[in-house]
Amino acid sequence: MTERKLPPGIREHHGKYQLRYRNPATGKEVTEHFRLITDARKRQHEVAADKERRQWVNPRLGQIRFGELARHRLDASVDLRDSTRATCESYLRSHLLPYFANHLIGRIRAADIQAWIVELQDKGLAPKTIRECYRLLSATMQFAVDDGMLTQSPCGRAVKLPRVPRQEQRFLSAAQIDEVADTIGGHHAPLVYSAAYLGCRWGELAGLKRTNLDLLRRRVQIVGTLEEIGSRVRYHPETKSNASRRALMLPRFLADMLAAHLAQAPVSEYVFTNLKGEFLRRGSFRTSHWLPATRRADLEGVRFHDLRHTAVALSIAQGAHPKEIQARLGHSSITTTLNTYGHLFPSLDEQLTERLDEAFRRTQTETNADQTRTKAEQEPVSLEDRKSQKAL
């Protein structure tokens, strides 16, 4: 029987096919084993192409397990806020590690990721949460690419994510704001008015210190937030983004209201607290005050965050420009502002059209007047008219 002739670099070894080649960086020999000769040849061509493109990656680096890599990446992310880190750890523990913990990163394919997404959907996980979990998975795989463990990430266009339905925004009228604030009561009413007329986030108001409130100049500095991580609450001296760090002018009525509030509030370094002067926790405020007040005002389903939307609607009604609203809300980009609230500006195009029409009509009127004046000056004057003008 004629012995099969194998291509250079491939040999039979213990019933398998061994591919041998040199590490282009170190010159050391690298070996890979395959059950089929066709797989060995395919891999040999891939290695040659990767070397040509200078994209070759040692296959041994892809032998690390996803769980180990994900934890290493999270530990190395020194720029994460505590609340963000806690969220990532929760997603990792509950949704990623049960599926991918023991997978070798070099063997995770787009099909595996798609199957995982379908499984999360079948479990009833919200589309937004699934996207956040995928974002964490994608960041981990990209970390492996950047570190030279993989040539490319399996997270790409082949992976289809569930569509996040747009959540309906709720806007309160000035009368409804009054009703909710009156129902909640005197101690927490200024918090409601501040959210509705300043557009601040919950954490920004709950973490607002008295030293950052200047009632004489009617200015408030948003420089930190209150973070809740499980049962732990702490002040974080940073905002959500650099753009969120901002100074806002207070409406006169709100400055007067806050002055009266601080005169009666418990001693604390914070503007808004519970009745004991302690940190104001989102959950307890929502259960004890917000939900009962919105139910009595026939506004069930309205969230505290909808007061931020309400602030935008009130500003637009007063003719505020999108850039003013961007700065007031602390958005990093005008795109965020327009994508979120662009539908509230339906009159802008109408106003622009009316101004263009007015400019055209004004120009036409002035042109007609000039033409009439010129025509009158060019008309011949009769002899009798000249005598009359001389007599005058």
- The pLDDT confidence band at residue 374, using thresholds 50, 70 and 90, is low
- The pLDDT confidence band at residue 391, using thresholds 50, 70 and 90, is low
For residues 149 and 146, give the distance between their C-alpha atoms in angstroms, rounded to a whole number. Answer: 8
- The pLDDT confidence band at residue 112, using thresholds 50, 70 and 90, is very high
Q: Is 50 exposed, middle or buried (0-12, 13-18, 19+ CB in 10 A)?
A: middle
- The pLDDT confidence band at residue 1, using thresholds 50, 70 and 90, is very low
For the segment 188-209, what is each residue's pLDDT rounded down to a tens digit? 999 999 999 999 999 999 999 9
For residues 307 and 329, give the distance between their C-alpha atoms in angstroms, rounded to a whole number. Answer: 12
Locus of tokens 């937004």: 128
For residues 206 and 191, give the distance between their C-alpha atoms in angstroms, rounded to a whole number. Answer: 9
For the segment 61-98, what is each residue's pLDDT rounded down to a tens digit? 778 899 999 999 999 888 888 888 999 999 999 999 99
Q: How many CA atoms lie within 13 A of 63 on its CB side?
A: 5
Average pLDDT value for residue range 114-121? 96
For the segment 14-69, what is each residue's pLDDT rounded down to a tens digit? 888 998 988 877 788 888 888 998 988 998 888 888 778 776 777 777 788 999 99
For the segment 233-248, what is each residue's pLDDT rounded down to a tens digit? 888 888 777 878 999 9
User: Helix, strand or coil for residue 354?
Assistant: helix
The strand pairing partners of 203, in sequence order, are: none
Is pLDDT at 349 greater than 70 in this prediction? no
The strand pairing partners of 236, in sequence order, are: 225
